[in-house]
Amino acid sequence: MPKGTKKVQFTFDETHLTHFGGMWLIQRFCNKLQLRWLLQRYIRIISRKSEYHSSELILALIYAIIMGLRRINKTEILQYNGAFLEMLGLKRFPDQSTLRRFLKRLTCKDIRRIVRLHDSLRAYLYASPQERTTLTFNLDSVVITIYGTQEGAKIGYNPKKHGRRSYQPLLCFESHFQEFWHGSLRPGNTGSSTGAIPFIKVCLKKVPKNIARSRIRFRMDTGFYGSPIVRFLDGTGCGYVIAVKQYPNIKEKAQACKFHPVGGGWEAGEYQAKVHQKWEQEHRFVVVRCPIKKAPEEVKQEALFEFKDYIYHVFITNLPMSPWRVYLFYRPRATVEKNIRELLYDYPLAKIPTDSWTSNVAFFQLVLFAADLVHWFKRLCLPKEYLTTTLDTIRTDFIVIPAKLVKKDKQNIVKLPHDYHYQKEFLQAFHKIGKLQLAHKFRFCK
């Protein structure tokens, strides 16, 4: 049996090493977007004399988020990451106190500028690599349990930590590419539908003008069911499918519905009813049911109720589809839960960095900005099979790679491992970024 190395010596004189060698791809992509220049031009944050420009601090936070440093105090390892500092153009990476002070200096006006820049880049890249003619929005909220004394955290619905203070952000993702569209950080005592109408208005405001309202659809769970949201969506001209709540009248009508088989033991039907007693207009309710014995576990978890030998799903919709097609259209909404889990566990959405509400809102928006940067990178630079992969996979395959930066004949050379499994994909992405052409002109959202 071969023996491992026994005698070793250590030196501490290398200055251009990193274990995030793949960040050169992210940095090259951000340079292609002129992100540093855009931050310098549009995010003008007034601050005291500092060795760092605000654009450098924002980039430092975004890069740290992408690299997987889930807490600000974990960024200390970047202070001796020489190749990474060279990549950023910094002599020294900001320490955690500098980053926290920067977040606490940000005002609501500064945050709005960051959000507008994020929206502007989304609009700039929206038609790449091809035009889209329809949009499907998935809305959901998530509970973030708070363990400190953070401002704005309140006691509300918390299924895992009863009685704990929390935040409950509201999030919207576009279904086709799973791109983040809009987000709002809210106190934990806020219901899912609270503030949903103004939230939806902002989502619609961000839609490109070439997409008609009739080509926009919303998918929402039971937390959003109610007459105010249904009435509002009726007035927008958009399509929608909303899972209804378990009210007695809904259960009675769903059980009495006339069903027809659709295969595999499933049955589907529909009925007309008023959402509110005072309304004259009736709405279409779709009901699908499946024998309990044949239903997969995830289908049981999503069911509205059980009755006799069946589990029932009930939706309100204005889409001109058959009941079964309505159900099939709604099912992919489950991807929003995957997106939220990624924000919680791969991104540091659940790691609230300060005790200030405004600072935490700023960090929340930077996390979402970083998430979309990774999404655009996957969409425009990596092979198609990576489009729906998580950040954890992107980190494993492309970012967390040991590397050494050397200079030879006045050239910068990044040395990567000899047996690196994704050499071909890495180089393809590198060259694809260089050839990336964005035909339309960038416009900053007002």
pLDDT value, residue 369: 97
Q: Which residues contact 263 (CB under 8 A, 6 or more apart)?
A: none
A 10 A CB-CB count for 273 gives: 13
Pairing of strands 283-291, 310-317: antiparallel
**Rounded to 5°, angle at Cα 446 from 361 and 113:** 30
From first CA to last CA, the distance across the chain in angstroms is 68
Q: What is d(CA 343, CA 338) in angstroms, rounded to the nearest whole number?
A: 9
Q: What pLDDT does residue 31 have? A: 92
With 0.85 as the threshold, say if the pTM is over it.
yes
Chain length of the chain: 446
8 Å CB contact between 391 and 375: no
- C-alpha 442/C-alpha 431 separation (Å) is 23
pLDDT reported for residue 276:
79
* 2 upstream amide cis, omega within 30 of 0: no
Helix then strand then coil, in percent of the chain rounded to 5, is: 45, 20, 40
3-class DSSP state of 406: strand
DSSP 276: S
Provide the sign of the torsion angle of the four alpha carbons 382, 387, 392, 393, taken in this order: negative
Quote the CA–CA distance of 81 and 84 in Å, as a whole number: 5
Q: Would you state the pLDDT for residue 1?
A: 57
Helix (H) or strand (E) holding 208: none
- Residue among 37, 32, 50, 42 at smallest CA distance from 92: 50
Residues 6+ apart with CB under 8 A from 133: 210, 211, 215
Please report the pLDDT score of residue 7 as a whole number. Answer: 76
What span, in angstroms and rounded, lies between the C-alpha atoms of 259 and 310?
12
Task: Determine the Cα angle at 395 with ends 394 and 399, to 5°.
Answer: 105
Angle formed at CA 122 by CA 144 and CA 54, multiple of 5 degrees:
70
DSSP 8-state class, residue 171: E
What is the residue-level pLDDT of the chain in tens, covering all 446 positions?
A: 566 667 777 766 677 778 888 899 999 999 999 999 999 999 888 766 677 889 999 999 999 999 988 888 888 888 888 888 888 888 888 888 889 999 999 999 999 999 999 999 999 998 888 888 899 999 999 999 998 888 988 988 888 888 899 999 999 999 988 899 999 999 989 888 889 999 999 999 999 888 999 999 999 999 999 889 999 999 999 999 999 998 888 899 999 899 999 988 899 999 999 887 777 788 999 999 988 887 777 777 777 888 888 899 999 999 999 999 999 999 999 888 899 999 999 999 999 888 999 999 999 999 999 999 999 999 999 999 999 899 999 999 999 998 888 888 778 888 889 889 999 999 999 999 999 887 678 888 77
pLDDT at 40: 92
